[in-house]
Amino acid sequence: MKPIRFIRTRLSIRSVRQILARMATVAMRYEMSSESFANILQSFIELTNRYRVKPTFPVPATVVQRHPRQFQKIEEAGVELAVHGYRHVEYTQLETSQIQMHYKQAVQTFHDVGLHINGFRFPFLRRNTETLHALGQSGFIWDSSDALYWPVLDSEHIHPQQWKSYLNILNSYQAQSIQDDLSLPRTAYGLIEIPVAIPDDDILFERLKLPPTKVRHIWIQMLEDVRHRGEMLVLQLHPERFPIFKNVLDSILKKARHDGNCWIASLGEIAQWWQERSAFSCDINKVAHGRYKVNFDCSDRGQPMVRSVSPEGIGQWFSVAKQITIKSVKKPVVGISSRSPENLKKFLADEQIIFEITDDSKRTNLYLDWKGAFRSRDKRELINQINGCAKPLIRMGRWPDPYEYCLSITGDIDGLDFWDYWNRFYG
Ligand SMILES: [Zn+2]
């Protein structure tokens, strides 16, 4: 990358003041040695192990190269590692051949020291079609760089300068609102994309200067939201801030475990589940007038579901057996017109809401003839339409039986000591 372009890019993401302030904070927090960070990581892992939770820590390969034994110990202690670039650079600024070389060298570096990886997170969450396309061709199974934000912050209570910095970072992450999009894994570029939740510890604590008590309140609110929607919260807590957020993380994990129906999984486990689930299918046959026989073909973790209306008149998805008979005059699936956009069909396939492509609008219990483009921000509206249907529909559940929503704990380790951070700034 050309030096001027490199510096300009850095400046567009963070101001020099912020970078220098962060380096000073990191230096103070780590006391200039990887030994104290090792203690922080050990406490983090002790807490997650206590809740039988495997966190996912993406790390740049050059940092692994400097501290191989540390990362072997971290993995042995119960952490899932992932690649956070070969170096901590902005991949959208590199040529395709350089990007491919970085991916290859990163995988080699982790493998050379016996570490297991199959996932990636882009530094600064900066990615584009080209970087993702190359990533999908490099043998990675999952990526976790899409950002979804929850509108849980109120600009009135935040300093205008800090609010502006928050909006800038949302823009730089190309973050989508949870009001429009769904917080779920999705398949794209031959990868399983697992979006991270915003605001994270970096935004709430470093940028907006909110105290841990307030952060706890915000994250619990986000967890409640995904519980209500049956979706996923990929919570980012950078391990370097664990001493500040230890009690907050403890509260989140306690609440999720207490609920009993929250699947707490690593990003790799989520990706593996999404792959397993994508092979599920079902057979639907009309056996008599107003009766359909449905055979679900899925693993024991699969949750076949039927949408029906409760005696109180509320539509709900219910778990059912693998073989069932449904009373329904029309076919209990979503009908999609052949002219509906391809990505809408792909979205429903990812969601495993059973649909068929037909131009007969009277054949199915719900019929969608989507005109125009189907954008990320239309997903919530589509799901609301489907969930508004008062007649039976079928689908596979989003999470392994018996879970109803999902939580994952993740945080990038950009470096273990001051020199890793210095190298990171230098790129
Ligand atoms: Zn990073």
Asked if the structure places residue 224 within a domain, the reply is yes
Asked if the structure places residue 276 within a domain, the reply is no
Dist. CA 309 → ligand 1 center (Å): 46
pLDDT at 27: 61
Q: How many structural domains are present in the chain?
A: 2
Are 384 and 326 contained in the same domain? yes
- pTM for this entry: 0.91
Q: Please name which of 107, 11, 13 lies closest in space to residue 60, comparing C-alpha atoms.
A: 107
Six token digits for residue 377: 């921000």
Dist. CA 337 → ligand 1 center (Å): 43
Dist. CA 182 → ligand 1 center (Å): 24
Are 136 and 236 contained in the same domain? yes
pLDDT at 343: 93
Encode pLDDT of 211-231 as tens digits. Answer: 999 999 999 999 999 999 999
Are 167 and 257 contained in the same domain? yes
Are 319 and 391 contained in the same domain? yes
Question: Consecutive 10-residue runs of the chain (427 residues): their mean pLDDT?
Answer: 47 58 63 72 96 97 95 96 96 95 98 97 96 96 97 88 92 94 95 97 91 96 97 96 96 96 98 96 93 96 90 83 94 95 94 95 94 90 90 96 97 85 62
pLDDT at 179: 93
Dist. CA 295 → ligand 1 center (Å): 46
Are 94 and 49 contained in the same domain? yes
Are 319 and 231 contained in the same domain? no
Dist. CA 121 → ligand 1 center (Å): 8
Asked if the structure places residue 277 within a domain, the reply is no
Asked if the structure places residue 274 within a domain, the reply is no
Dist. CA 53 → ligand 1 center (Å): 22
Are 228 and 355 contained in the same domain? no
Asked if the structure places residue 228 within a domain, the reply is yes
pLDDT at 23: 64
Distance CA 150, CA 143 (A): 20
Dist. CA 392 → ligand 1 center (Å): 46
Are 247 and 142 contained in the same domain? yes
Asked if the structure places residue 273 within a domain, the reply is no
Range of the domain at 54: 3-261+405-426
Side by side, the strands of the sheet bearing 147-149 are: 176-177, 147-149, 196-198
Non-local CB neighbours of 132 within 8 Å, separated by 6+ positions: 143, 188, 189, 191
Dist. CA 424 → ligand 1 center (Å): 9
Dist. CA 345 → ligand 1 center (Å): 34
pLDDT at 34: 60
Encode pLDDT of 156-175 as tens digits. Answer: 888 999 999 999 999 999 99
Q: Which residues is 82 bridged to in the sheet?
A: 58
pLDDT at 276: 97
End-to-end CA distance of the chain: 10
* β-pair type (331-336, 176-177): unpaired
Are 229 and 83 contained in the same domain? yes
Dist. CA 344 → ligand 1 center (Å): 32
